[in-house]
Amino acid sequence: MNRYPRDFHGYGCTTPDPKWPGGARIAVQFVINYEEGGENNVLHGDAASEAFLSEIVGAAPWPGQRHWNMESIYDYGARAGFWRLHRLFTGAEIPVTVYGVASALARSPAQVEAMREADWEIASHGLKWIDYKDHSAEAESADITEAIRLHREVVGTSPRGWYTGRSSINTVALAAETGVFDYISDTYDDDLPYWMQVAGRDQLIIPYTLDCNDMRFATPQGFNSGDQFYAYLRDTFDALYAEGCDGAAKMMSIGLHCRLVGRPGRIQALKRFIDYIKGFEGVWTPRRIDIADHWRATHPPQHPLRIDLMDRASFVEKFGGVFEHSAWIAERGFDLELGPAHNCVAGIHNALARVFRSSSHAERKAVLTAHPDLAGKLAAAKRLTAESTGEQASAGLDALTDAERNQFQDLNAAYVAKHGFPFIIAVKDHDKASILRHFEDRLANDTATEFTTACAQVERIARLRLESML
């Protein structure tokens, strides 16, 4: 099986109505990443100092050494930045979610107490704030297990949400395998929560953000001033709020770091944004766990047909009749690079149509000749496929007068004699009179033109059949 795991389809062109509480038009969710004391540091048993997300331009790890300036910048986040953010959000009466690195929380008891007293959600940000791309699955799993244990010990309750951040290809599956988390946020692929089947269970995913994120104050392509940060947040809010007014409500995530936006020169931009959204009706500012609870109650997991997970026999049985009497198209379609994006009408139709289009002229002609005449002898003898029977009946071809039946038979005979294959049209797109007009018009075409037209109609019939099936 050649299966492509990435999902480019998602919800498709029509997103579900999240039905946010109170009919809210947007959910704006703030995350405070608490990493200070959990970053790379030889004091923490790491090989080198931290080099990510600080005020030091071009920072590099110092192998085997403490980096005093880097440590001091992180210390600022715990000592000053956190409390500035705490005052802002408690004063605005907006609850937040904290992505708390377990080892960082263990080194910050006063901050943990303040989070709990403010009724902030404390989700897990891993055991240590380090990069897991080169870790084995076993080593990463062990850290996840220890993060859960230490979090429970420090906070008093188990984390219900998970976000590693600097994750590996195994992270989401490993976190899901624990069965602990009501949601996982190690994706950036949507504006709404969604369910993922992973590790043998239905796992809720609440996507996070790297664009509405103050980390861009510390990256080359980022924000140079608070005004830029504010403008970006405002524009994002305006776009999503407008979609919510049009019946397609969304979620906006905002990522914050104590040592970054907690600086005086940046906090005012965040305050202006909070003041801005308070001027709108229908704005819900939940914690991520509130979103998870709402989504589970309102949009429980569904189990649609997973085309990309079907075995060959099931695939051919399901789709072998989409192209009339031509199961070989489904057999070859099974061997294409199918993935989650094919778990929809457009996806499977595209796969089968690719096979048809790339087949030889003789093979395509065989598909054409497999189609029955319209209102012909097979129909009269009730020997059509179930699909063809229903399609012809939809246009009233099963209830013709004797004169109409003779007219169709004469046209069928003339068309086959001239072109060498039956007249094919997606009858569900027409009524009886329209079919007859097209029949008479197309009879005058040259065979090459009609071959192209007939092939296009075969694909259209396949599409309509799939829409009926799926």
Nearest C-alpha neighbor of 422 from the set 462, 364, 466, 374:
374
> Residue 197's beta-bridge partner residues?
202
Nearest C-alpha neighbor of 332 from the set 349, 310, 355:
355
211 contacts: CB under 8 Å, gap ≥ 6: 232, 236
DSSP letter for each residue of 382-441: T-S-HHHHHHHHHTTTTS--HHHHHHHHHHHHHHHHHHSS-----GGG--HHHHHHHHHH
Q: E strands within 267-374?
A: 283-284
9 is a catalytic site residue? no
Q: Which member of 86, 151, 349, 371 is catalytic?
A: 371
Torsion 399-403-409-415 (CA) sign: negative
85 contacts: CB under 8 Å, gap ≥ 6: 32, 256, 258, 261, 262, 267
- Tell me how far the alpha carbon of residue 260 is from its chain's centroid: 29
> Contact 133/98 with Cβ under 8 angstroms?
no
3-state secondary structure (DSSP) of residue 274: helix
> Contact 198/220 with Cβ under 8 angstroms?
no
Nearest C-alpha neighbor of 270 from the set 307, 320, 310, 233:
233
Rounded to a whole number of angstroms, the CA Rg of the chain reads 30
459 contacts: CB under 8 Å, gap ≥ 6: 349, 353, 356
> Contact 186/163 with Cβ under 8 angstroms?
yes
Residue 191 and residue 193: Cα distance in Å, rounded? 7
Q: What is the DSSP letter of 27?
A: E
Residue 451 and residue 458: Cα distance in Å, rounded? 10
Task: State the DSSP H helix or E strand holding residue 362, giving kind and residue range, or none if neither.
Answer: helix 361-370
> Contact 261/31 with Cβ under 8 angstroms?
no
Nearest C-alpha neighbor of 40 from the set 82, 83, 101:
101
Catalytic residues: 371
